[in-house]
Amino acid sequence: MQSVLDWLFYARKFVIDCVTFASIRLYGIECTFKDVQKRAYSQAQHINLNLDAAKDLDTLLASSKDRYKDAIDRRAFVTDKAKTLITLNSALLAILGAFLPKATEFDSLWVSLIFYGGVLLLLDALIVMWMYFDIKGETVLDLEQGEAMLDKENLKKSLINSYLRCQVDTNNITDFLADLYKTARFYFLFGFVVIFVIFSASYFFRSPSSEAERVIERLRSEPKLIELLRDPRGEQGKQGEKGPQGGGGPEGPQGTSGEKGPKGERREKGEKSESASKKQ
């Protein structure tokens, strides 16, 4: 059972990664599938500074702390924008769901396909934003046992490099998340414009009379509605008593007799009857 659940988890993760990677590449951002799986870029790498000849370690330590803090503040700024975008996207999808029965009554097939494409763009933006809030590894400052044994000057040197390493790794993740935000924003705006154009064209160019006729025709062809509007049948009444037999009517006038045919025709008929009897 656990193996099946693990397989479902990795399958879902792989599908989401493929959709995100395709969306980023179609948007035009250089990205690898490995970057999507890691949820971070790897272009920038920290190299420890040689601080043996440093004159002011205190200033360098304070500067490295500020740079790491700036990286964290930048992450918070991008996250606030992402929260706003995912809220707008979810609200727009909810509005489309409320008007979906109306939205599917387009006159032509190509308009319906364009509208469906716009909805897919909004859904893709929502999937990319879900990727933004996925759990990912973060590099944080940690004090190891070896650093605890260092003297004051060497400890400052180690802390400076640790802060700089955290700052670089945080910026790598933030850069990837910023590209996710830009990709989702593009698909959201594109899908919104497509849907707005379709609704505008349907609103201004659809005839109200044809719409009313379509509704009336649909109502007429609905058997359940016809049965509902029909009055219920009443109970069958009792059979009435048989009435008295009426009297006989007056006798009608006698008809006139027809004229007799000529004698020649009678003889022919007789001859024919005699010939028929002879044949028999």
Domain locations along the chain: 2-223
Other C-beta atoms lying within 10 Å of the C-beta of residue 242: 6
In 28-56, alpha helices (H) = 33-38
d(CA 187, CA 78): 17
For residue 136, give every residue at least 6 positions away whose Cβ sits within 8 Å of its Cβ, in sequence order, or none.
38, 39, 40, 173
For residue 131, give every residue at least 6 positions away whose Cβ sits within 8 Å of its Cβ, in sequence order, or none.
16, 20, 36, 39, 180
Supply the pLDDT for residue 18: 94
Which pLDDT tens digit goes with each residue over 198-216?
878 777 776 555 556 666 6
pTM for this entry: 0.70
Which pLDDT tens digit goes with each residue over 37-74?
999 998 888 888 888 888 888 999 999 999 999 999 99
Contact 77, 71 (CB under 8 A): no
d(CA 132, CA 184): 10
